[in-house]
Amino acid sequence: MRCKFLILTVLILPIILSCTAFKPKIAKVETVLDNTSGAMPADFIDNETLWWNIFDSPEISVFMDKAFGNNFDIKAAYYRIKQAQASYRKSYSNYYPSADLTMERSYNEQKKENFNVVTTDTWSLGLNVSYEADIWGQTRAEAESAALQIEINRYNLTGSALILSTDIAKTWIDIIANKIKLNTLTEQLRLNRDIYSILEERYYNSMAALIDLYQQESVIANIQSQIDDTISEIKQLKQSLNVLTGTHPGAKISIDTKKLPVIRPIPEDGLPVSMLRNRPDLKASWLNVQSAAWNVSSAKADRLPSLKLTGSYNYSDERLSNIFDNWALNLAGSLIAPIIDGGFRKAEVERTKAVLQEAVMTYKQDALNAVKEAETALLNENKYVKRIKNTEERLTIAKKSLIEAERRYYSGISDYTTVLNERLNIIELKSSLTEFRSARIKSRIDLYKAAGGKIPELNEILKEAENGRTAKK
């Protein structure tokens, strides 16, 4: 038996040594990132500190910490990593032999011609071992592809955390802006009621028409409707913020920040490409290209002969106590070569090549979208910066007009309605200013998302997702 095994080894070993494993050859993929440049200072987007530190607000930091520990999308992404890790272990297990232990008992009764019954009770114990040599690198290719899937899911988790953080920041900004808007509308309502009182007095003195009262009542009703809508909007935004932080929508939530945060101006020279390369979705997209390349190698290796070594130890006896006394040993080796499969394996190679090209095209498109998102965020912020400047200039003029209206009123040249109208104009301009400032801040948030802004380290997010608690930053 040993001689046969030695001969088999001598025959097969040269085949193994002469084989060359398939490895993917990935050429550099040119994208729009290689042809885009910008001169924005590298320290404009600080990749050393959490991106929302630009707001200098402990309040939003609390919401972020709570979200990373409780948000269910983050937890789902965490378990996708666990799935990928298990899949990798399954693929890597093919490097090792497999062994199966079997134990059987057979009971047989047979009647003879003399009506005697012969009973046979047999025990059998066996150990089967098999191992398939990875002569073409198929096992390695599958394991490498599975390992890359782990990293892809890690970057997907990082991307999910980044998107979550920007959604929280935008919601927080919207709540603050709507609270400011509510205060503005309340002041508008008070002033319009004052105007109504003046018009009412003038009507009774036959100095104003009844239609003036009706028009003013319509204005008051419209403002009251806006107040009701704004209160409802704040409640909905708070519900959204609760959901983002993994809390019941109806839970009580407090937003104590009264003013919109001040952010520094953006440089005029654009965003450097190096910032965009930090995006987790781009890193995941590139790893997906590499994973697809390894799958091509696996499909190619599957078309070639495979070497499988098997060994078995078996023994049968009528007495269980004798089962371990003697064993029968069998060793074998087989070289299996696909001959006819209807073109299945060839088609699989072509399919994996097409999947690889799809991954390359997707990566290029992702890079293109990244540049577009960054450029759109920059354009939007510049647009709102101009609107803010224009509104501030109009507000300055409106304040001067109010001073002149008050001077004319105290001089007896005009009535108080003119003064109230100027105050209403100022309030409306302030409301527009709040709207443009919040829109500018949200454009900056989009810019940080487009540039892959800094979020907590992945191990901290994983720890929070696993334990369902808030980790200290």
Please report the pLDDT score of residue 328 as a whole number. Answer: 52
Find the mean pLDDT for residues 309-313: 65
- 179 pLDDT band, cuts 50/70/90, is very high
Dist. CA 83–CA 91, nearest whole Å = 12
- Longest C-alpha distance within the chain, in Å? 141
> Which of residues 201 and 123 earns the better pLDDT score?
201
Q: At what angle do helices 138-204 and 458-467 cross, to 10 degrees?
A: 80
- The lowest-confidence range among 185-199, 262-276, 368-382, 414-428 is 262-276
Please report the pLDDT score of residue 469 as a whole number. Answer: 45
Q: Is the pLDDT of residue 320 over 60?
A: no
Here the CATH number for the domain that contains residue 376 is 1.20.1600.10
Token pair 């008992």: residue: 105
pLDDT, tens digit, 9 for 90 and up, residues 324-363: 555 555 555 565 666 666 677 788 788 888 988 888 898 8
Q: Is the pLDDT of residue 44 over 80?
A: no
Q: Is the pLDDT of residue 38 over 60?
A: no
- For residue 85, the one-letter residue type is Q
Dist. CA 263–CA 172, nearest whole Å = 15
Cross-sheet strand order for the sheet of 117-133: 98-111, 117-133, 306-317, 328-336
- 134 pLDDT band, cuts 50/70/90, is low
Examine residue 299 and state whether it is found in any structural domain, yes or no: yes
CA–chain centroid gap for 98, Å, is 38
Contact 192, 221 (CB under 8 A): no
Find the mean pLDDT for residues 431-437: 93
Examine residue 153 and state whether it is found in any structural domain, yes or no: yes
- The lowest-confidence range among 175-179, 305-309, 324-328, 405-409 is 324-328
Please report the pLDDT score of residue 19 as a whole number. Answer: 53
- The lowest-confidence range among 84-98, 169-183, 420-434 is 84-98
> SS3 of 71, please?
coil
Mean pLDDT of the chain: 79
pLDDT, tens digit, 9 for 90 and up, residues 22-33: 677 776 777 777
pLDDT, tens digit, 9 for 90 and up, residues 183-213: 999 988 998 898 888 888 888 888 777 887 8
- 39 pLDDT band, cuts 50/70/90, is very low
Q: What is the extent of the structural domain holding 207?
A: 21-97+136-305+342-467
Tell me phi and psi for residue 266, to 5 degrees. -90, 140
Examine residue 314 and state whether it is found in any structural domain, yes or no: no
Find the mean pLDDT for residues 88-102: 76
Supply 267's token pair.
């440089």
Q: Is the pLDDT of residue 1 over 70?
A: no
CA dihedral 404, 406, 411, 417 (to 10 degrees): 110
- 264 pLDDT band, cuts 50/70/90, is confident
Name, of 63-72, 146-155, 167-176, 298-307, the range with top average pLDDT. 167-176
Find the mean pLDDT for residues 128-136: 72
Please report the pLDDT score of residue 235 as a whole number. Answer: 95
> Which of residues 124 and 61 earns the better pLDDT score?
61
Please report the pLDDT score of residue 315 as a whole number. Answer: 59
pLDDT, tens digit, 9 for 90 and up, residues 205-240: 887 778 878 888 888 998 899 999 999 999 999 999
Count of domains forming the chain? 1
Please report the pLDDT score of residue 14 as a whole number. Answer: 47
> SS3 of 314, please?
strand
Dist. CA 257–CA 172, nearest whole Å = 9
- 63 pLDDT band, cuts 50/70/90, is very high
Examine residue 328 and state whether it is found in any structural domain, yes or no: no
Q: Identify each DSSP E strand in 306-387 by its residue range.
A: 306-317, 328-336
- 466 pLDDT band, cuts 50/70/90, is low
Dist. CA 383–CA 443, nearest whole Å = 10
Dist. CA 332–CA 311, nearest whole Å = 6
Could you say which DSSP state residue 269 is in? S
pTM equals 0.79
- For residue 235, the one-letter residue type is K
For 119-138, the DSSP string reads EEEEEEEEEEEEEEE-SSSH
